[in-house]
Amino acid sequence: MVKVDRRIAKTQEALKKAVIELMTEKNFDDITIQEIADRADVNRGTIYLHYQDKFDLLDRLIESHLNEMGEMDEWACELEWKDALVPYFEYFEKNYLFFSTMLASKGAPSSFRTRLLTSFMEGFKYEIDRDSGRNTNLTDDVMLQYAGTAYVGIIEWWIKNGMPHPPRVMAEQVGTLLGRSL
């Protein structure tokens, strides 16, 4: 992990935060580069030092979240389901604004749901029970699609309904259900 210049980290952080905020206020397509720069308190030209355009910025924003969740996979892979899921729901809670915005916005980035699903299914692949024999009549693609859409769906519900249960409770219940499905 090469440590990045703190100036770069700060401006990128500010830019990502600005995009999320603006997306709660208007459609992504209606957001202008100048608005992002103003909101982030950054020179307009500075954006182009890091990103191609606003679509690239949004893309990298999504990517960074998926990567961060990917890193949590490695920490969690040796834990029981319900323990492993706690940090995930805490992450969703912490980045509430991002997830609610990305899951709600009806415009171009509806692809987010798909990318999230793909990412989850990729992670589930190594969690399928292949030993006990209880899944011999099930194929991987069906199990992955089933568990993946269920997981995305429950997160979507949880976020959009103002997170009615604390992360720990969600982790326990969803952990139980995912364990039964894989």
Partner DNA sequence: GCAGATGCGTTCATCAATGAACAGATCCCG
Partner DNA sequence: CGGGATCTGTTCATTGATGAACGCATCTGC
Chain contacts with a copy of itself (rule: CB under 8 A): 6, 10, 41-43
Q: How far is the CB of 87 from DNA (least distance, A)?
A: 28
C-alpha span between 82 and 86 (Å, rounded): 7
Is 42 or 85 the residue whose CB approaches a copy of itself more closely? 42
Is 13 or 68 the residue whose CB approaches DNA more closely? 13
Q: Is 35 exposed, middle or buried (0-12, 13-18, 19+ CB in 10 A)?
A: middle
Binding partner of residue 77 among a copy of itself, DNA, none, CB cut-off 5 to 8 Å per kind: none
Contact residues for DNA (CB under 7 A)? 3, 5-8, 10-11, 32-34, 41-46, 48-50, 52-54
Residue count (the chain): 182
C-alpha span between 57 and 5 (Å, rounded): 19
Binding partner of residue 32 among a copy of itself, DNA, none, CB cut-off 5 to 8 Å per kind: DNA
Can you say whether the dihedral through the CA atoms of 131, 132, 137, 140 is positive or negative? negative
